[in-house]
Amino acid sequence: MKRIYFDHSATTPVDEEVAKLMLEYMTEKFGNPSSIHSFGREVRKAIDEARGHVAALLGANPNEIFFTSGGTEADNLALKGVALANRKKGNHIITTAIEHHAILHTCEYLEKQGFTITYLPVDEHARVSVEDVRNAITDKTILISIMFANNEVGTIQPIKEIGEIAKEKGIYFHTDAVQAVGNCPINVKELNIDLLTLSGHKFHGPKGIGALYARRGVRLEALQQGGGQERTLRPGTENVPGIVGLGKAAEIAKRDMEKKIAHVEALKNKLIAGITEKISDIKLNGHPTLRMPGNVNFSFRYVEGESLLLNLDLKGIAASSGSACTSGSLDPSHVLLAMGLTHEVAHGSLRISLGRGNTEEDIDYCLTVLPEIIERLRSMSPLSGSSTMAESNPCSHCHKH
């Protein structure tokens, strides 16, 4: 059966160059980078080179890059690290209602520690207002944390403008750029970003490795204690294969950025146009133009996201949904609800995230299969006959009212 991977926002395949280099540092070059003999020194050199590649991808300095186990740890280190180190200056943090749970749950934790969090709303395109950010600032504000691009609907936030406000007010600005790094150009200096988090497996690096960019001069408190690795901010023997893999992935991403963006943008535009033409009662979620190059997110009325995913999977297409039924939650995506979608419409969402390995043939196959699935699911749905029923029973599978 044909198998097509349309879930690159969830994870990406490891690049062959990356995998080859990682294997070398698992088998031949296995020294501990803290050791002073030749085995340790060659590994320390490789870590320094990887740090340089990650810094170059962001327009940062190598000594501003700290390796972590991934985006979640980097988010925790950014938020908690700033909060704990600067609590004498203030206890107020600004974020948005559509952040990844790595941010939202960290903010909930900080609230229990006595910090005040402002969760800003977004518009129907999932974009935060620059004026809302400005108006939320108080004399107690120490940090603004707003994601670069949304992981579900792909909307890119007004990062440069928010960075300018934060700089003007003397407030740290953090962005969770896990979806964006390696997939669109970012220069932390030009965008006035003080802290940025990234994850290797979102751009053809390995899982279990990420990084925090922290501008020189940013006051951070370490969350764990140990040796002197990562200048004591993130102690523990380094994940050398992961770090060299991340460095190589960053090097490749910088090298191939323009070509990759042009490729996935063309596929995205073809897919959006095809779905719009072939299927009725739909809604494109996210900003029509200010969105990630490979992100396509639609809601289909009278269709359940989970059923849609299962039927696509049976046809060999892997995608994802804004419906969280499979994770044990009865509620649809917090992002779609924050954008103003009803439960019924949000439950019928489909995210297709394209990558460099996808082809026009993949898009053609999807545009053949998807309309047939939607038509069949709607013909079986008790929701499609009555809008009143649709509103009162938005998810027949979950029985969520």
Q: Which residues are catalytic?
A: 325
How many Å is the Cα radius of gyration of the chain? 22
Beta carbons of 124 and 339 less than 8 angstroms apart: yes
Type of residue numbered 50: A
Bridge partners for 67 per DSSP:
211
